[in-house]
Amino acid sequence: MKDLLTNSTFFGIFLSIGSYMIALAIQKKFNKGFLNPLLIAIMMTIAVILLCDIDYESYNASAKYLSFLLTPATVCLAVPLYEKIDLLKKNAKAIFIGIFSGVMTSVLSIYLMSKIFSFTKEEFVTFLPKSITTAIGMSVAQELGGYVSIAVAAIILTGVLGNMICVSVLKIFHIDDSIAKGVAIGSASHAIGTSRAMQIGETEGAISSLSIVTAGIMTVILANIIAGLY
């Protein structure tokens, strides 16, 4: 059975997509924020790999084709942004200041945490891109000499947590403006959070999509500067 699975060209794809479809059904049935489909799918995939004693390399070799869709999927987020271009132009200054504030908060919090826990430079730069989309974050971590696999895990975890708690956080701080919601979600929890923003509203989704790209560019610049000072 193990040989059959590991030798299958598309085993990883079927496992990943199947786990996610089951997770979506669970979330739809119970409609609870903590039942995040991506988180459940990850846990299910890990469980199957462990129970079937399949090494990660074999799984990744058959699931790598899904990774090719990551960048095109991120680019597609430009569609709702285009539809709200007039709103963007009208509030451009406030939006970009908000995104910059989010990026600075993320970068400086990692810097502070690194000093408190005495991180090495490699560990520090690994967590710097935690709040930007995986497609950009992987490149940032690799370029700065960090651990790419850990960086990806941190990015995904940040996005999943953002997706799960963003609505509650917005309510706690009484953030009612649609643009502010989009900026907050997109600059803090990238594409995974943006999927939740799109469920909240079209404006939230569009501004969150913009925040992903802008926050990514800002983080690349700031990460290089701060990493050089660490």
Res 61: pLDDT = 80
pLDDT tens string 121-146 = 999 999 999 999 888 898 899 999 99
Res 2: pLDDT = 53
pLDDT tens string 84-126 = 788 888 899 999 999 999 999 999 999 999 999 999 999 999 9
Provide the residue ranges of all domains of the chain, joining segments of one domain with +. Answer: 2-68, 75-229
Q: Would you say residue 73 has pLDDT above 60?
A: yes
Cα 112 from Cα 96, distance rounded (Å): 24
Cα 151 from Cα 127, distance rounded (Å): 6
**Lowest mean pLDDT, pick from 10-19, 23-32, 57-66, 150-159:** 57-66
Distance of CA 136 to the CA centre of its chain: 10
Q: Would you say residue 19 has pLDDT above 60?
A: yes
Contact 163, 193 (CB under 8 A): yes
Average pLDDT of the residues in 205-229: 89
Q: pTM of the prediction?
A: 0.81
E strand or H helix that includes residue 187: helix 178-200
Residues 6+ apart with CB under 8 A from 75: none
Contact 26, 40 (CB under 8 A): yes
Q: Would you say residue 6 has pLDDT above 60?
A: no
Cα 115 from Cα 213, distance rounded (Å): 28
Average pLDDT of the residues in 139-156: 91
What is the dihedral angle through the alpha carbons of 88, 92, 95, 101, rounded to the nearest 10 degrees? 150
